[in-house]
């Protein structure tokens, strides 16, 4: 395992297996991978993201181990450990891989 990975996370992926009674999609958040070692750090959004309408003051870069997982655009990463961490139980949406 690479050095510096100080958190544990899980990858949540979304599928749309059924429609509701009025035809709207019902997404299901399924945990695809658990107990992934990770490191998260803040960085400023690029000008290209700001021009596309991203309205957040900062983005986050996450290094996940192992790196051979199947992560897709709009999946989410949820920090699951350590329990006293600032990011504990917070979700981050993947906008780029």
Kindly report, residue by residue over 73-90, the tens digit of the pLDDT: 999 999 999 999 999 999
Indicate whether this model's pTM tops 0.75: yes
pLDDT, residue 95, reads: 85
Cβ-based neighbours of 35, under 8 Å, separated by 6 or more? 8, 10, 80
* The pLDDT of residue 17: 72
Q: Does residue 61 contact residue 40 with C-beta atoms inside 8 Å?
A: yes
DSSP assignment of 8-73: EEEEEEEEEEEE-TTS-EEEEEEEEEEEEEEEEEEEPPPHHHHHTT---S-EEEEEEESTT----T
pLDDT given for residue 63 in this prediction: 92
For the chain, which residues score pLDDT lower than 50? none
């Amino acid at each position: 395992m690479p050095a510096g990975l100080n958190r544990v996370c899980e990858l949540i992926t979304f599928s749309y297996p059924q429609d509701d009674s009025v035809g709207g999609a019902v997404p299901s958040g399924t945990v695809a991978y658990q107990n992934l070692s990770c490191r998260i750090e803040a960085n400023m959004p690029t000008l290209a993201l700001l021009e596309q309408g991203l309205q957040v003051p900062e983005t986050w870069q996450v290094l996940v181990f192992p790196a051979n997982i199947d992560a897709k655009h709009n999946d989410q990463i949820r920090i699951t450990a350590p329990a006293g961490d600032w990011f504990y139980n917070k979700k981050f949406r993947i906008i780029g891989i």
